[in-house]
Structures are given as C-alpha cells and as structure tokens.
Structure 1
Amino acid sequence: MARELEGRVAAVTGAASGIGLASSEAMLAAGARVVMVDRDAAALQALRNKHGEAVLPLVIDLLDPADCATLLPKILEQAGRLDIFHANAGSYVGGDLIDADSAAIDRMLNLNVNVVMKNVHDVLPHMIERGSGDIIVTSSLAAHFPTPWEPVYAASKWAINCFVQTVRRQVFRHGIRVGSISPGPVVTALLADWPAEKLQQAREQGSLLEAADVAEVVLFMLTRPRGMTIRDVVMLPTNFDL
C-alpha cells in the first residue's frame, strides 16, 4: 500500500474495536501516526504492542464531561499536532421505542450526538490555526432512511448528518474538510442488540458489511486532492434490499 498519509497525525475515537479499529489500522498502514482513543486500556496497549510506536494509546471516557474535555490537550501532548480526526465512537439502541430503556436512550444520544459535537468543537480551533484538517464522522445509512426498527438510533444519526453538513459549510474556508461515512449494517458489536434471527438471516443473505470495507472508504476520503471534499458516502451491501 502506498503510504499516502506519511507524516500525518490522526485521532480516532472508539478505536479499540469495530470501525474505529479498522479505520485506525488502515491509516497506520498508510503511514500515519494514530492516537487511538478508547476506554479499554488493555485493548489499546495490545494494539500498541502489535503495531509499535505509530500507535499512541489514549484512554478517555468520552461520557465523562471532564475527561472528554481533555481530548485535544492529550492528543497534542502525545503527538504535537492533529491532521485527521475520526469521530467514530457510538452506541446503539434498536427495537420498538416503547421497549427502550430511558437510561440507555440518554447514554446513546450523549455519545452519538453530544460527544461528537463537543469533540469536533474542541479540535476545530487547532485545525483552523494550522489552516488544514480533515474531520470524518461515522454516521449510518439510518441517517438517510427512517428505519422503523431503530427510531432512537436513526434519530441520532439524522442529527449528526445535519451537524456534519452545516459545520462543513462553516469551516471549509479554513482549509478543513468535513464529511461522514454512512454504512449499512456492519459486523461490529453494535449489532449485538439485533434479534438473533435477523442477524442470522442477514449473514446468510450477504447483507452485512465488514469494518475493513468501511475503513477503505475512510482512506479514500482522506486521500482525495485538497480541492475535493467527499461530503458523505453511503455504502451498503449489494444484497441489502433482499
């Protein structure tokens, strides 16, 4: 693989598993140093041992407001700069609204919406000062379709879709690109809430994506010429509509 991100510093939230891990590993392979942000200290250390000094582990609980506010200072302390920020951390609440737990709703909306907004807010001044930067947010196909089996999750991603498109318009003049990836169902821990029969059927039909597939799209977005912004990529398995 061409090392197209050589010399760049990236930070990825929710980096210890799923799309965040795949995105981090794709950027590492492309030559970036990656600040991998997660709550799971043991997993981050294992990834440091696996990939070496290009991995900069950063243990933060993004749902703790005081801890969340330390994101950029700690990134700069470890890496000295930030070129790429992938706001990926998120959670999932599916099923009928009437069956949802209120505390789970609060937690998911906080992580999927509030934390993303705060993280992007906090990294923007650094990127504006440097006159360059890339911000990618993990959204979902659910941001583009009123998915009847996940009204809470879909609503969080609709909010983020609006956030990405409006912030992009505010900061492009500073040399900062903002975009989102909107995958259909991906084989990650977020699918743990799916009914077993639905998950099995999706696997059998080939209607699930792999995290590595999404990471390839992230890398595509990051490596376009600076005069081009990939605003949003909707990706879904070819057999999704079966």
Structure 2
Amino acid sequence: MANELEGKTAAVTGSASGIGLASAEAMLAAGATVVFVDRDEKALEEICGRHEKAIPLVFDLLNAEECKTLLPKLLELVGHLDIFHANAGSYIGGDLVDADTDAIDRMMNLNCNVVMKNVHDVLPHMIERKTGDIIVTSSLAAHYPTPWEPIYASSKWAIDCFIQTTRRQVFKHGIRVGGISPGPVITGLLKDWSPEKLQEAKDAGSLVEAEEIANVIIFMLTRPRHMTIRDVVMMPTNFDL
C-alpha cells in the first residue's frame, strides 16, 4: 500500500471516527494528502496532530449554507481534489413506529441529500480535470430488506441507486464512482444496538473492523484507470449464521 497514492489529494467526510477515520488514515499511509472533514473539532485536532499530511476541516454538513462552501474550502487547502470519499452518515435502528420524526429528517438529510449535494459540487472540478475518484459509503442494508432498520436501510437503498446512476453519467469524463457496502462494522453507528446484541455479534464473529473496510477502499482507488470497482459488498463471514 505504501506510496500508491503519492501526490494525490483526498477529502473524507465524517473522518473523526469509524470508517471515515480508517479510510482517511489508510489514504495517508498510501501517500496521499488528506483533508479530514468533520464537525468534531477536538477529535480532528488530535487526529491531524499525529499525521504530517493530514489537514483538518471543521465543518457542519447539515448546515445547508455551509454545505455549499465545501468544495471552495477544500480547494483553498489542497489546490485540487483527486479523491472524494462521501462517508458521513447516521443511523436509526428499531421499529419505524418508535422512531422520532425529527431524527428521521436528520438522518435522511445526512445520508442522502448531503451526499448528493457534495458529489454534485465536486463533479465540475473533476470533470474539468478529466479525472477523479468518488467513493460513497453505503451499506449491506442497501442490498437486503433489513427488518430491524427500515429507516436506515431506506436511506442506503436510495444512495446506492444514486451511486449506480451517477457513475453511468460521469465515467465518460474519466471519473470513477464506487460504493462500499459493509455489513456490521465496529463503529459508533452501532450505539443503538443493545449491549447484549453487540456482545452476541462480537462473540459470533459477525462484526468487522473499520480498518478492514479501509483496506478495500484503497484497493478500489489503486486499480488502473481503465478499471472501475463499482460496488463492493462485504460482510463478516459469520453474519448469516
């Protein structure tokens, strides 16, 4: 993995923890300069203090006016953008009838609208340069009607459609768009799981680490330009037990 992304610039949203952090640090290890985009200022300060080529950008993606400024702020920091990983997201599990409707709005906005707006804003820059990679964090829930998380799964079904259709529009410009769809990953998104369910999954080997997802993202980014890894579905081997 060393130096495969040397000279590349990247931005990863939701990079203060979980898959976003693992992805951003994997890109750094591969030689890229990475902008860590997150609203958690304290976490970004600590993380970026550990890495020479890590640049923090404290940013609230759910602020509609601020969201419009993401690309200009990224270009101020790195000059151009080779890789954009739209990773930020939130989770709602459980029965639909028990969900808070304001929480539904917030999750659908972050998981769907923000991703679409970010990619919309990044694309003209990449089209002008005739190259670029866009990775979107989806979920195994986008490929299976998961009964214990209908709201979250719906957001990921929607964004998976967005990934597949957008890729078909922009490949002619030299831009690759791919989705990474993990099964259960040990991240903060599982905070809604009961301690018993989480421990049961750990004991059964039905969870994977964020770093394992990041390794697949690096694989996607480092294929020859004539090859697109369009959609990776990965899960713990014991998930279906």
TM-score, normalized by length of structure 2?
A: 0.99
Runs of 4+ in structure 1 over 3 Å off:
none
TM-fit CA distance, 1:195: 2.1
Which AA in structure 2 matches 1:34? Answer: V
Which AA in structure 2 matches 1:172? Answer: F
Q: Which digits, 9 at most, give the CA deviation of each residue in 1:55-106, with x for residues without a partner?
A: 1111110000011111100000000000000000000000000000101100
Q: Which residue in the other structure is 1:25 paired with?
A: 25
1:239 matched to 2:238? The reply is: yes
Once the two structures are superposed, the pairs formed by residues 162-201 of structure 1 within 5 Å of their partners are 162-201=161-200
Once the two structures are superposed, the pairs formed by residues 27-42 of structure 1 within 5 Å of their partners are 27-42=27-42
RMSD (Å) for aligned C-alpha atoms: 0.6
Distance 2:225 2:165 in 1: 19
Distance 2:14 2:59 in 1: 10
List gaps (5 residues or longer) in structure 1. none
Q: Secondary structure of the residue that 2:169 maps to in structure 1?
A: helix
Distance 1:143 1:71 in 2: 27
After the TM superposition, which of the residue ranges 2-11 and 42-51 deviates more from structure 2? 42-51
Q: Which digits, 9 at most, give the CA deviation of each residue in 1:143-165, with x for residues without a partner?
A: 00000000000000000000000
List gaps (5 residues or longer) in structure 2. none
Count of matched residue positions in the alignment of Structure 1 and Structure 2: 241
Q: Which residue in the other structure is 1:57 paired with?
A: 56
Which AA in structure 2 matches 1:95? Answer: G
Q: Which residue in the other structure is 2:110 paired with?
A: 111
Distance 2:219 2:81 in 1: 19
Q: Secondary structure of the residue that 1:157 maps to in structure 2?
A: helix
Once the two structures are superposed, the pairs formed by residues 38-187 of structure 1 within 5 Å of their partners are 38-52=38-52, 54-187=53-186
Distance 1:117 1:195 in 2: 32
Q: Secondary structure of the residue that 2:4 maps to in structure 1?
A: coil
TM-score, normalized by length of structure 1?
A: 0.99
Which AA in structure 2 matches 1:23? Answer: S
Which AA in structure 1 matches 2:20? Answer: G
Distance 2:232 2:20 in 1: 17
Distance 2:117 2:95 in 1: 29
